[in-house]
Each structure stands twice: as C-alpha cells, then as structure tokens.
Amino acid sequence: METSPSRTITPGLQPMARFNAEQSAQRCERHGDYIAFTYRGHTSGCPACMKEQQEREASEAHAKWQVELRQRRVNELLGRAAIPPRFADKTLENFFPHAEGPRKALAVAKDFAGNFAECQKTGQSLIFCGGVGAGKTHLAVGVCHEVIKLDRVAVFSSVIGAVRSIKETYRKGSELTEADAIKNLVDPDLLVLDEVGVQFGSETEKMYLFEVINGRYQGLKPTIVISNLAKEPLTEYLGERVIDRLREGGGRMVVFDWPSYRRQA
C-alpha cells in the first residue's frame, strides 16, 4: 500500500506536503514535541496551540453573538414595555433621594426588583400613591428596567390607555376581542398601571380595571399601581377588595408624602 508523506501527516497540513514542505522536529513548552512544516519561509506552529487558539476565537465569537442576541432581546422587551419617552432613561441607579422618605421608597423598589423571582411565586405587588412629582413613576420604570434585565416581560400603561385598548375591541374590524385585550394586560410578568384615579371614570372603566387586577391576582402576576391620590381616596376608588389583593403575598403600599422633585429643580 502506498505510504506517501501526504497520507501519514495531519490532514490539515497535507497541502504543504504536496508543495515539498520541509519537516523539522520542534518542541512546544506547553505540549511537548511536534513536527513542524516549513514552506516558503513560513513554519507551522504547534498544532495543539493552534487548536486552542481556534477554540478560543470560536468561544469569543459565540460570546459576542450571545451579547448581541441578548441586546436584541432587551430592545424587543423595551419596545413591548411601552415606557413613555419622558421616563425611558429613569432607573433605580439614577434616582437620588433627597430625604428619608424617598430613601425608603427606593429601598422598597430595589428589594422588589432584586427579589422579583420570589414576587412571581406569591404575586407580590406594590402601590405607589401620594404626592405629584415625588418620584413614583421614576421608581416604577426603574423596576421595569431591572425586570427586563431578567428576561421578563414588563409593560407600562396608564389606566386610560389600558381601558382604551379594551374599548377599541368594539370598533368595527377589530382583530382583538375584549378578552384578548384584557389578556394582553394580564399576561405580562410585570404590569405598571399609572394614573390610577386620575379621572374618576365610569363604572365600566372601573370594571375593566378590576378585571385586569383580578386576573393578575389569580395568576400570581406582580403589579405596580401608581396614583396621585392619597391612601384613603385611592382605597375608596379601587375598593377594599382590590387593595387587599394588591397587598396580599407581601404586597406593600408606599405613600409618597414628601415635596415634589420638580419644585426643587
């Protein structure tokens, strides 16, 4: 049987052999002895080192692809979150408390975001109520960003927007049913409902709001309710039953009773 050099050397080095490459014994400090091939002044290196480099480059390329894939997913989730542009850059990191009250509110928000997996097991929710411009929306949006980092779906909506999305299913040609619209608000891992009670709406609007909150309550889906109403008016607006459900499973109500940040700017 023919035993030419091209049949006895490493397959990847066969092209060199066909062009009469010179062979020489070499030693790698890491991998020991190996046969090197020299062709036109270029000498091959240690095959084991070359393999490690190829694997390292492949690993780095895969890691870069994973980062890009993750960023696309984050962008997708941010798009679905529908955070208003005015608040898009609000995070827990750039919320700067100016008094003890805001510091405690920030701690509550960080604890909620940092333990979101546990919140999903119990349906733990938050109620931010009280003073206008006191940082309620900033903290809620900051929580959304942290939840999205966990590859979870967070959705931000005003109550008016949520009710409108349900009402629009009644227009001619709508592709969604009322049940579909409500499901879109019940399904996200986190729902932020802003401007609760900003307008004392009809009984129908209150019914829709209850349907959404109750559906999330039953599915153990955390919700953050934001309202400029004080504790008592908010409780009267939503009803004791809704408040109780939002506070069940460790849910907390934070009353923002400090001066507006906007007045200090």
Within the chain, all domains assigned CATH 3.40.50.300 are found at 82-264
Structure confidence at residue 87 (pLDDT): 87
Angle of the 203-218 helix axis to the 159-167 helix axis, nearest 10: 100
CA 116, 120, 123, 129 torsion: positive or negative?
A: positive
Distance from C-alpha of 210 to C-alpha of 217, rounded to nearest angstrom:
10
Flag whether pLDDT at 77 surpasses 90: no
- Which residues pair with residue 25 across a beta bridge? 35
Determine the pLDDT at residue 69: 63
Structural fold of domain 82-264 = Rossmann fold (3.40.50)
* CA angle (259 as vertex; 256, 261 as ends), nearest 5: 95
Nearest Cα neighbor of 86 from 148, 133, 153, 146 is 133
Question: What digits encode the pLDDT tens for the residues 141-175?
Answer: 999 999 989 988 898 988 888 888 888 888 888 88
Assign 88 a pLDDT band (cuts: 50, 70, 90): confident
Q: How far is CA 262 from CA 90, 107, 131, 135, 194, in A?
A: 15, 21, 11, 9, 18
Burial class (CB in 10 A: 0-12, 13-18, 19+), 162: buried
The whole-number pLDDT of residue 207 equals: 87
pLDDT per position as a tens digit, 56-72? 988 888 877 766 666 66
Phi, psi of 155 (to 5 degrees): -130, 135
Express each pLDDT in 6-28 by its tens digit. 334 444 444 444 457 788 898 99
Higher pLDDT, 68 or 113: 113
